[in-house]
Amino acid sequence: MARYITKRLVLLIIIILFVSVASFFLVHLLPGNPATTILGPNSTPQNVATVNAQLGLNKPLYEQYFIWLGHVFQGNLGQSYTTHQTTVTIIQQSFPIDLELIIFSQIIAFAIAFPMAMHASRRPNRLFDQLSNTTTFAMLALPAFVIAPVLVLIFAVHWHVFPGPASYVPLTQNFWSNIHTMILPSIVLALGSIVVYFRLLRNDLISTLQEDFITMARSKGLSDRRIMWRHALRPSSISLLASAGVVISGLIAGTFVVELLLAMPGLGYQLISSVNQDDYTVVQGITLFVAVAIVLINFIFDFLFTIVDPRIARE
């Protein structure tokens, strides 16, 4: 176990180093000069040289990288050229929105996928099972950028059930209006997770329900409900748990789409607007933050997974 964890930790450190190098060089190796972007029409060769010196861009690249990394460790991700906010402030303001979206969407996904899978696996290949299989298969072909505008069209524009774009209210301002604005984007995000959770849980439940210990429980005269909840569910949810980390990292695209569509100032919205304004420090900062967050989430889920099922670490 200890050896396994050390191995994973080493890999984690390598990955984070790679992520930091990638986020740094992404900006520095690609064409375009930050100095000309900052100066705009005032970019004479002399001015460019002055700004380069001020930003430390005339030093060798590896030196710049370590300076930058030092700043990152001190919690300094630079400053926006347009709004003059620090990148850390931008992330602090926008990240709670993404967090809320992810939590809501996962609650919805679990609330739908679990009962659906439990019901479908009771009678495999019968009507309900086939119906839910077909539906979830079709949902695979509905990425967020396709389904989000359609749902907004139906629920916000036509039926006015949920508020439309640009009606985001911060949680601290009005709790219930905030929840109300969060429901539609959370449903959009939940759809993708439901597909994965349902399919994994259904398959595992079907194979678990054929095991001897279930037959044993049945012959003892236990009710179907008790067998499902007490005997079958736990051993069947392992691959689902293992997938949760990956599913959550897969939600990035969805959160970016709904944030842009509904004008919610989350990380995705901030990233896209910084891209559109050539605000390269903010792009770099958010890229680094999201990448490290995803890496850590996956690491934590891997780790939790070895606690749930210690056999993995032993091999």
Partner 1 sequence: MSSATINTSEAFADIQEEITADAAADPTKKKLGVFFWICVGWIVLVALMATFASLLPLPNPDLGNYNSVQNAGPGWGHLLGTDDLYRDIFSRLVYGARVSLVVGFGGALIGLILGGIPAMYSAYRRGRIDTALNTTSYVVLAFPALVAVIAIVSFWGHNLWKITLIIGVFGAPLIFRVVRASTLSYATRDFVLAAKALGASDRRILTRELLPNIMPTIVSFGLIAVATIIVLEGTLAFLGLSVQPPTPSWGNMLNEGASLLTGAKGQTNPWLVIFPASAMFLLLISLNVVADKLRAYFDVTEIKL
Number of residues that bind partner 1 (CB under 8 A): 75
Angle at 220 between CA 218 and CA 221, to 5 degrees: 65
What does the block give as tokens for 37? Answer: 């972007």
φ, ψ (nearest 5 deg) of residue 79: -135, 145
Question: Segment contacting partner 1 (CB under 8 A): 100-108, 153-161, 171-179, 180-188?
Answer: 153-161
Tell me how far apart the alpha carbons of residues 240 and 198 are, in angstroms, rounded to a whole number.
9
Q: Which of residues 168-227 bind partner 1 (CB under 8 A)?
A: 195-196, 199-200, 202-203
137/175 with CB nearer partner 1: 137
> Between 142 and 233, whose beta carbon lies closer to partner 1?
142
Stretch that binds partner 1, among 56-64, 66-74, 87-95, 265-273 (CB under 8 A): 265-273
Interface residue with partner 1 among 144, 187, 205, 228 (CB under 8 A) is: 144
The span from the CA of 237 to the CA of 231, in Å, is 11
Q: Choose, by CB under 8 A, the member of 85, 133, 177, 178 that binds partner 1.
A: 133
The secondary structure of 2-38 as a DSSP string is HHHHHHHHHHHHHHHHHHHHHHHHHHHHSS--HHHHH
**Site string (4-43) toward partner 1, x via CB under 8 A:** ---xx--x--xx--xx--xx--xx--xxx-----------
**Per rule CB under 8 A, is residue 142 in the interface with partner 1?**
yes
Chain center to CA of 307: 23
Least separation, in Å, of the C-beta of 288 and partner 1? 9
Q: What is the DSSP string of 38-63?
A: HHGGG--HHHHHHHHHHHTTTS-HHH
Applying CB under 8 A, which of residues 109, 182, 191, 283 lies at the interface with partner 1? 283
